[in-house]
């Protein structure tokens, strides 16, 4: 029997009407630069409301255009904001819904990691979590047919997250996406300084990013460890904050988009 997670933040973080949502995402993608010549293996992209960070997220998803039919599995990792999790949480459902339709989960891939000690099964951890959900409409418009492995990441060591990523690494059919914003609620100038330093450490594949530097620090650190082991080359596509997009400059949230390509594809 099919069990579907319904959208939780439609009409809040992004438009809830299918046509408006599709048009909004397509507008962001069309405004992004042309696709890169190398296929990204992994992306780090923000998860705020589209008015704040949609243009930054689109810079990563626009890179996928030449491989939209080839990428058939997306491993999506994001931090938990509402439910505390020790380790990484898979949902018990088999589909995620958005206003654009249902996305089937890769239950076979999920079974590969379900018995790991750092994995828990929790629909509750996913039910109201926006860090994964806001990426789904972008994936639906940027790719053709794909299956999803959604992981809500709580407190977890980089090695535990990297182990999961490496089991699901696959080949060119698999894309890894980590959802993370940067600093939160600092003044504009301070945020720019802090976020520039954080981005420099991410580009060095430093696995000691702290939650106050990036809310998705735990999945970010795990990806950076896996990237180091697999020789991925990181690239900063863009960095900004809510003061640059749709907010005031007194208390801003930072955003950045990173792409990672495999050795030999650089």
d(CA 77, CA 222): 10
Q: Please indicate, yes or no, whether the overall pTM of this predicted structure exceeds 0.85.
A: yes
Rounded mean pLDDT of 46-57?
A: 98
* Banded pLDDT at 212 (limits 50, 70, 90): very high
The pLDDT tens digits of the residues spanning 87-105 come to 999 999 999 999 999 999 9
Q: Which two tokens stand for residue 244?
A: 């640059």
Query: What does the angle CA 34 – CA 38 – CA 43 come to, to the nearest 5 degrees?
Result: 80
Cα–Cα nearest to 172, from 38, 36, 65, 71:
71
d(CA 79, CA 29): 24
d(CA 189, CA 174): 38
Sign, CA torsion 184/227/159/154? positive
Rounded mean pLDDT of 114-140?
A: 97
d(CA 8, CA 136): 12
Cα–Cα nearest to 253, from 172, 195, 204:
195
Overall CATH class of domain 17-261: alpha beta
* Banded pLDDT at 265 (limits 50, 70, 90): very low
Q: What is the pLDDT of residue 247?
A: 82
Give the E-state strand segments of 6-72 in sequence order: 42-45
1: pLDDT strictly greater than 90: no
d(CA 99, CA 101): 6
For residue 82, CA distances in Å to 10, 17, 136, 154 come to: 17, 25, 19, 10
Q: What is the pLDDT of residue 266?
A: 42
Instruction: Print burial letters for 32-41: b (CB count within 10 Å at least 16), e (below 16).
Output: beeebebbbb
Give one DSSP letter per residue of 169-192, joined into a string. --STTEEEEEE----EEE-HHHHH
Q: Which two tokens stand for residue 227?
A: 């990237």
Helix (H/G/I), strand (E/B), else coil: 265 = coil
d(CA 22, CA 13): 14
Rounded mean pLDDT of 29-48?
A: 91
d(CA 149, CA 258): 20
199: pLDDT strictly greater than 80: yes
pLDDT, averaged across the chain: 96
d(CA 199, CA 1): 44
Rounded mean pLDDT of 189-208?
A: 98
């Amino acid at each position: 029997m099919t069990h579907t997670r319904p959208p939780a933040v439609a009409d809040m973080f992004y438009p809830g009407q299918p046509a408006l949502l599709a048009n909004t995402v397509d507008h962001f993608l069309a405004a992004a630069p042309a696709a890169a010549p190398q296929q990204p293996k992994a992306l780090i992209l923000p998860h705020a409301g589209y008015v704040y960070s949609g243009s930054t997220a689109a810079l990563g998803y626009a890179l996928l255009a030449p491989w939209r039919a080839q990428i058939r599995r997306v491993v999506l990792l994001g931090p938990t904001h509402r439910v505390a999790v020790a380790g990484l949480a898979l949902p018990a459902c088999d589909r995620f819904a958005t206003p654009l339709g249902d996305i089937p989960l890769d239950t076979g891939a999920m079974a590969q990691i379900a018995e790991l000690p750092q994995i828990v099964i929790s629909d509750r951890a996913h039910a109201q979590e926006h860090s994964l959900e806001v990426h789904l409409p972008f994936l639906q418009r940027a790719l053709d047919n794909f299956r999803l492995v959604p992981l809500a990441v709580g407190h977890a060591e980089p090695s535990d997250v990297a182990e999961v990523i490496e089991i699901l690494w696959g080949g060119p059919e698999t894309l890894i996406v980590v959802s993370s914003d940067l600093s939160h609620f600092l003044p504009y100038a301070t945020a720019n300084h802090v976020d520039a330093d954080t981005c420099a450490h991410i580009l060095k594949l430093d696995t000691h990013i702290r939650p106050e530097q990036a809310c998705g620090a735990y999945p970010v650190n795990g990806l950076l460890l896996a990237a180091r082991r697999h020789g991925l080359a990181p690239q900063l596509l863009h960095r900004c904050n809510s003061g640059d997009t749709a907010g005031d400059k007194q208390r801003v949230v930072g955003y950045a988009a990173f792409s990672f390509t495999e050795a030999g594809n650089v």
